[in-house]
Amino acid sequence: MAKDVQPLNLYTKSVGVKVLLSLFSGFMLLLIVGPLLWLAIHAFATEWLFPSYKPKGWTLDWFRKVFEVPTLVDAMKTSLIISPIVVLLSAVICLPAAYASARYNYWGRKSFLIIMFASNAFPKIGLFATIATLYYFLNLMGTLVGVIIIQVLGTIIFMTWIPAAAFAAVPKSLEEAARDAGAGKFRVFRTITLKMAMPGILVAMVMSFIYAFDEAQGTFLIGAPTIYTMPTAMYAIVETYPIQVTAVFSILLTIPSVLLIGLARKHIIGGQLAEGFQIK
Partner 1 sequence: MALPPILVLGTFIGFPIGLAFLFSIGFTGGLNEVLSIIGQDVRGRDGKLFTLQAYKDVIADPRFAGDVKTTLIVSFVATVFVLLFSTGIGLLQRLRGGKLSSVLTALSLTPLFIPVVISSWALYTFYGSAGLYRTIFHSFGIDVPQITSTMLAVIIGSIWVSLPFATLMITSGLQSVPNALIEAAQDAGASLITIIRTVMLPLALIPIIIALTFTSIGILGSFTVPFFLGANQPTMFGVEITNFFSVYNRPQQSIVMAFIVFAAASGIAFFYIWANFRNAKESGRV
Partner 2 sequence: MANQSGEGLELVGLRKILGGRVIIDDLNLVVNKGEMVSLLGPSGCGKTTTLRMIAGFLIPESGKVFLAGKDVTEIGPEKRPSAMVFQNYALWPHMTVFKNVAYPLKVRKMSKSEIEKRVHDVLEMVNLMHHKDSRPAQISGGEQQRVALARALVQEPDILLLDEPLSNLDAKLRVKVREDIRELQRRLGITTVIVTHDQDEALSISDRIAVMNEGRIEQFSTPQELYDAPQTEYVANFIGSLNRVTGSFENGAISAGSDVIGIRPEDVFFSKNQIPGSVAATVTLVVPRGHFYEVYLKRNDAELRAFVSSEVPKAGDAGFANITKALIYRDGKLVRTA
Residues 247-266 that bind partner 1 (CB under 8 A): 250, 253-254, 257-258, 261
CA–CA distance from 278 to each of 183, 194, 199, 206 (Å)?
32, 21, 17, 19
Residue 14 within binding range of partner 2, rule CB under 8 A: no
CB-based contacts of 48, cutoff 8 Å, min separation 6: 42, 54, 55, 56
Binding site partner of 99, from partner 1, partner 2, none, Cβ cut-off 5-8 A by kind: partner 1
Does residue 70 touch partner 1 according to CB under 8 A?
Answer: no
For 219, residues 6+ apart whose C-beta sits below 8 A from its C-beta are: 147, 150, 151, 227, 229, 231, 232
Q: Is 8 in the site for partner 2 (CB under 8 A)?
A: yes
Q: 1, 15, 49, 60: which one contacts partner 2 (CB under 8 A)? A: 1
- Selected from 4, 9, 51, 240, the binder of partner 2 by CB under 8 A is 9
For residues 111-170, which are near partner 2 according to CB under 8 A? Answer: none
DSSP assignment string, 115-134 = HHHHHHHS-HHHHHHHHHHH
Name which of 3 and 54 has its Cβ closer to partner 2: 3
Binding mask 238-257 for partner 2 (x = CB under 8 A): --------------------
Q: Which residues make Cβ contacts (< 8 Å) with residue 135, sequence separation at least 6?
A: 141, 146, 222
Q: How far is the CB of 170 from partner 2 (least distance, A)?
A: 23
Minimum Å distance from CB 13 to partner 2? 11
- Asked if 19 touches partner 1 (CB under 8 A), the answer is no
**22 binds partner 1, rule: CB under 8 A:** yes
The count of C-alpha atoms lying within 13 angstroms of the C-alpha of 218, restricted to the half-sphere facing its C-beta, is 26
Contacts of 200 (CB under 8 A, 6+ apart): 162, 163, 165, 166, 167, 169, 267, 272, 275, 276
How many Å apart are CA 171 and CA 167, to the nearest integer?
9
Using CB under 8 A as the criterion, what x/- string covers residues 164-203 for binding partner 1?
----------------------------------------
Nearest CB to partner 2, comparing residues 7 and 51: 7
C-beta closer to partner 2: residue 15 or 31: 15
